[in-house]
Structure 1
Amino acid sequence: MNELNRYTRKDFLRTAGSTALFATLGIGFYGCGSSTDAMEGTEVRPPSGGSGAIEISNNGNTITIDLSVNSVAGLNQQGGWTLIRDAATLAVNVDGTTIRAFTSVCTHAGCSTNWQFSNNRFECTCHGSRFDTSGSVVRGPASRDLQEFSVVRDGDLIVISK
Structure 2
Amino acid sequence: MKRRDFVQYLCPSMAVLTLANACVQADEPVMVLSTSEIQEFERVSTKYNDEGYFQEGNQVFVNLSNPAYSKLGNNLGYVNILDAGVLLLRTDEKTLKAFSNCCPHQGIRGAWDLVNGRFRCDNHGNSYNVNEVNVVSCSSNSVSGGLQRFQVLAYQNYLKITKG
TM bracket, shorter-chain basis: 0.5 to 0.7
The question of 1:92 aligning with 2:89 is answered yes
Amino acid at match of 1:68: S
Q: Distance in 1 between matches of 2:108 and 2:49?
A: 23
Contact between 1:127 and 1:141, CA under 8 Å: does it hold in 2?
no
* Aligned counterparts, 1:125-144, within 5 A: 125-136=122-133, 142-144=143-145
Structure 2: gaps (5+ residues): 1-47, 135-140
Number of corresponding residues? 110
Name the counterpart of 1:50.
49
Q: State the percentage of identical aligned residues.
A: 27
Structure 1: gaps (5+ residues): 1-48
Structure 2 residue aligned with 1:62, among 45, 55, 59? Answer: 59
Which structure's relative contact order is higher, taking Cα pairs within 8 Å and 6+ residues apart?
2
Q: TM-score, normalised by structure 1?
A: 0.60
Give the C-alpha shift of residue 79 in structure 1.
Answer: 1.3
Give the C-alpha shift of residue 135 in structure 1.
Answer: 5.0
Q: Distance in 1 between matches of 2:131 and 2:119?
A: 10
Q: Distance in 2 between matches of 1:118 and 1:156?
A: 27
Give the C-alpha shift of residue 105 in structure 1.
Answer: 0.9
Q: Which runs of structure 1 show a deviation greater than 3 angstroms over 4 or more consecutive aligned residues?
A: none
Name which one, 1 or 2, has greater alpha-carbon Rg. Answer: 1
Amino acid at match of 2:150: F
Structure 1 window deviating more from structure 2 (144-153 vs 90-99): it is: 144-153
Indicate the RMSD between aligned Cα atoms, in angstroms: 2.2
Q: Distance in 2 between matches of 1:155 and 1:149?
A: 19
Name the counterpart of 2:162.
161
Q: TM-score, normalised by structure 2?
A: 0.59
